[in-house]
């Protein structure tokens, strides 16, 4: 079973403590929207959902994709969520998602020097489409070998581990990616 990886989410978790009040990111995201600071993406608005426990946090809402300082499952991180279909290969789509999330992470770090740092050794990849990728053992068997190959090429290293993060069929299919060596987030 070959999967077409669409509607990808990449999340880089915070490395260490979150050294700022998440509400401070609201103003940063408003600046991103006003300046259209994410090339290739139309940013529309900002949503502050910090009242939701272990929820979406602060979101820069876009047409093609959203960016967020997310607290899903109680783990703060920068999140990129692709909403529109991308042409190209699975490798090109994963690379685009990784790069967009990485550029957002670097921009947030630069806006709050010393207060926040994102992981350079791990991230989560979610396929936000249960029709394409139901959270089943069959999807795991079909997706993980290709994801491992794509991520190894993307990071330029073979010392990676890819593991399914949720076993509940009601959840979206997701994997955690761990790297033995630090990787570059871009910028």
In a domain, 110, yes or no: yes
89: its two tokens = 């290969």
18: its two tokens = 């979150």
In a domain, 48, yes or no: no
**pTM as predicted:** 0.95
Q: Could you tell me the CATH number of the domain that includes residue 116?
A: 3.30.1710
Where in the sequence is the domain holding 138, given as residue range(s)?
Answer: 8-19+75-179
In a domain, 152, yes or no: yes
In a domain, 51, yes or no: no
Comparing CA positions, the residue from 131, 129, 153, 133 lying closest to residue 143 is 133
Summarize pLDDT for 59-107 with one digit per residue, the tens: 999 999 999 999 999 999 999 999 999 999 999 999 999 999 999 999 9
Summarize pLDDT for 95-150 with one digit per residue, the tens: 999 999 999 999 999 999 999 999 999 999 999 999 999 999 999 999 999 999 99
Give dist(CA 44, CA 15) in Å, integer.
29
When divided into structural domains, the chain yields a total of: 1
110: its two tokens = 């630069």
Number of H helices, E strands in the chain: 3, 8
């Amino acid at each position: 079973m070959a999967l077409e990886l669409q509607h990808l989410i990449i999340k880089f978790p915070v490395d260490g403590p979150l050294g700022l009040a998440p509400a401070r990111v609201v103003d940063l995201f408003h600046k991103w929207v006003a300046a259209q600071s994410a090339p290739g993406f139309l940013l529309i608005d900002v949503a502050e959902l910090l009242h939701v426990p272990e929820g979406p946090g602060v979101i820069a809402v876009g047409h093609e994709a959203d960016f967020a300082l997310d607290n899903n499952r109680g783990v703060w991180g920068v999140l990129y969520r692709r909403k529109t279909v991308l042409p190209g290969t699975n490798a090109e789509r994963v690379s685009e998602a990784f790069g967009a999330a990485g550029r957002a992470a670097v921009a947030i770090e630069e806006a709050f020097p010393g207060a926040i740092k994102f992981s350079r050794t791990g991230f989560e990849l979610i396929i936000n489409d249960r029709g394409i990728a139901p959270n089943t053992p069959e999807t795991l068997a079909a997706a993980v070998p290709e994801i491992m190959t794509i991520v190894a090429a993307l990071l330029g290293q073979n010392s990676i581990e890819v593991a399914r993060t949720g076993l509940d069929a009601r959840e979206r299919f997701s994997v955690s990616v761990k790297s033995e060596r630090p990787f570059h987030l871009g910028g």
